[in-house]
Amino acid sequence: MSLRIHTKDITDCLMKLEREGFLSSTGRYREKTYHLPGQILPSSEEVFKSSPNSERNSPISELTKDKLGRILHPYFSSPFIDDLSTLELDYREQLEKVAEEPRDKKRISPEKMQALILEICSEQYVTIRALSDILQREAETLRGQYVTILKNDGKLAMAFPRTPNDPKQAYITVE
């Protein structure tokens, strides 16, 4: 969906809503995100608090997982994948089957890679690390050549918009 409103007009409107108390914000300048007053967006630490990739001595209780082994968080309507080893084996194999072409070939077209990323991130948040493991590509290559472009085109959304450079940032396809 494309609006024909200039970005400055949208920014002015958001700032006015914030001044009038209808919205609150976190961050500054280009990293500023808006939310309803009293609602703080959870951080990646809160979502991944007891995953195998977090600190072992975390005092926070074990994560809730769905039947496929994906992390569930009450704030998000979609599950998270951050570690393939925690996934149910059949589901992990299903994801690897989707990514068969890049796993078998060194080069595939950018369009094909973008389509695969969107398919993998459909209806679930996936971290760059997990995406890298599924597609057998370097995380920074995926971020720089594909994910950032898809995000800027409005095809992927970040789970943690107030910390866009978070190493545990996760992405979901915008339907």
Alpha-helix residue ranges (DSSP H) falling in 20-88: 44-47
| Average of per-residue pLDDT across 132-158 | 94
Compare 23 and 31 and report the one with higher pLDDT: 23
Structure confidence at residue 31 as a pLDDT band (50, 70, 90) = low
The tokens for 39 are: 């609602």
Residue 55 has pLDDT above 60, yes or no: no
Closest CA to 78 of 163, 156, 147: 156
pLDDT tens across 37-53, in order?
777 677 788 888 744 44
DSSP, res 1: -
Assign 120 to helix, strand or coil.
helix
> Looking at the predicted structure, is the pLDDT value of residue 54 above 70?
no
Confidence of residue 82 (pLDDT cuts 50, 70, 90): very high
Helix (H) or strand (E) holding 150: helix 148-152
pLDDT-derived band at 146 (thresholds 50, 70, 90) equals very high
* Total length of the chain: 175
